[in-house]
Amino acid sequence: MSFDKLGLIEHLHKALKTEGYAKPTPIQSQAIPVILKGKDILGCAQTGTGKTAAFALPILQLLHNGHSPEKERRIKALVLTPTRELAIQIGDSFTAYGKHTGLRHVVIYGGVSQAAQTKALQKGVDILIATPGRLLDLIHQRFVHLQHLKVFVLDEADRMLDMGFIADIRKIIAKIPAKRQTLMFSATMPAEIQALAHSILNHPEKISVTPVASTVDTIQQYVYFVSKNDKRALLVHVLKDMSIMSALVFTRTKHAADRVVRELHRAGIHADAIHGNKSQGARQRALNNFKEKKTRVLVATDIAARGIDVEELSHVINYDIPNIPETYVHRIGRTGRAGLSGVALSFCDAEERVYIKEISRLINRHIPVIDNHPFPIGEVEKFRHQVFKGNRSFGSLRRGPHRARR
């Protein structure tokens, strides 16, 4: 299927050609026609499936068709997203897709002065992209008025839950018109998210692409068994391999991210950290440097990394194994995109072996073990048996991590 068959207006086709888009992704081909009909959507889609365009394109078309330049601009569409980085990326997408529509959007988020944001709002806006906290602040200050809202997008709903935003979301929903079109997207569907969906959606069309348990076939996955105290030394050892062109390293906490970066700097490896304690400017600089390949290694927490989309990312390294198996799938899915191959490496200590076991069960795949490294955990064979129940298909590799085939 091509974009020509989705019923999009010429203004959007022109923008898509400029961006080099020729064929819609599954979430786009399924969601765009439904949204254009004015229906609610409950979409289960992971990062990297193209869901931003899936809702941005039809929103731009719906608002453009009802837009009159002579009328005062009012907020007709609201996109609510959990992090500043994701809000900025969504704003960039609306800029790219909507350049020929005459519509105006504003991105608001916390962690920076509100002056520039309120100034932009006062000039009039058609589409607002916001994080929950800053949005509520500006609503209370009467800079944001949502009584004319027609389309509400709740993006990354499961991450909203993880970050404790559900109460804020309910406050925001109470302030928008009951008669509206609601588009809700989530990578996973825990019970709390299903309950939220039931309360805010009206007979939604359910769309699910790339099942949560799936991992891209082009991603090579490996696990190192290592003691917790040796993880930083192992990371330095692995990153000394200059065939690793770029690496996104995940830690469980902000403090761990900073400690890892300091250790890498001592070893002569340039790296940046990105997490919630960093200023917005520092986070954006770190992300831009990584995208432009000025920085080879970016160390991030899950919350800060949500929404990061980097072309040709060769390696994802799980410095800390996530305790939620689906999070592992989301992490490693940042490599191996657009037909390219990628490598996912996981450092597993004794306390994390149960996490690897649960991940293996979810993805229905055995993860090969690399044990010819300088920091093997004691009694490796016994440890492997505890994790994998002695399954021989989890055989060790007597060589380093495979290189990504570009």
pLDDT in tens, the chain (406 residues): 678 889 899 999 999 988 888 788 889 999 999 999 999 999 987 666 788 999 999 999 999 987 655 567 899 999 999 888 789 889 999 999 999 999 999 999 998 899 999 999 999 999 999 999 999 999 999 999 999 999 999 999 988 887 889 999 999 999 999 999 999 998 878 888 999 999 999 999 999 886 556 666 778 999 999 999 999 999 999 999 988 999 999 998 889 999 999 999 999 999 999 887 777 778 888 888 998 889 999 999 876 666 566 777 899 999 999 887 878 887 888 887 655 678 999 999 989 999 999 899 888 888 999 988 898 876 555 555 555 554 444 444 544 555 554 4
Distances (CA, A) of 172 to 15, 132, 222, 299, 393: 32, 8, 43, 33, 50
Number of CB atoms found within 10 A of residue 288's CB: 11
8 Å CB contact between 374 and 346? no
Residue 399 pLDDT? 46
DSSP state of 377: P
The answer to whether the CB of 222 falls within 8 A of the CB of 60 is: no
Residue with tokens 């990312």: 313
Q: Do domains 3-208 and 219-397 have the same CATH topology?
A: yes
Separation between Cα atoms, residue 231 and residue 228, nearest integer Å: 6
CATH architecture of the domain covering 219-397: 3-Layer(aba) Sandwich (3.40)
Question: What residue ranges do the domains of the chain occupy?
Answer: 3-208, 219-397
For 6, half-sphere exposure in the C-beta direction (CA atoms, 13 angstrom radius) is 30
- What gap in Å lies between CA 312 and CA 336, rounded to an integer? 8
User: In a 10 Å sphere around its CB, with 0-12 CB exposed, 13-18 middle and 19+ buried, how is residue 143 labelled?
Assistant: middle
Its pTM surpasses 0.75: no
Best CATH choice for the domain 3-208 from the list 3.30.70.260, 3.40.50.300, 3.30.460.20, 3.30.450.20:
3.40.50.300
Do the beta carbons of residue 338 and residue 310 sit within 8 Å?
no
Question: Longest Cα pair distance anywhere in the chain, in angstroms?
Answer: 75
pLDDT at res. 390 = 44
SS3 133: helix
Predicted pLDDT at 211 = 58
Q: Is 356 helix (H, G, I), strand (E, B) or coil?
A: helix
CB count, 10 Å around CB of 140?
Answer: 9
Total length of the chain = 406
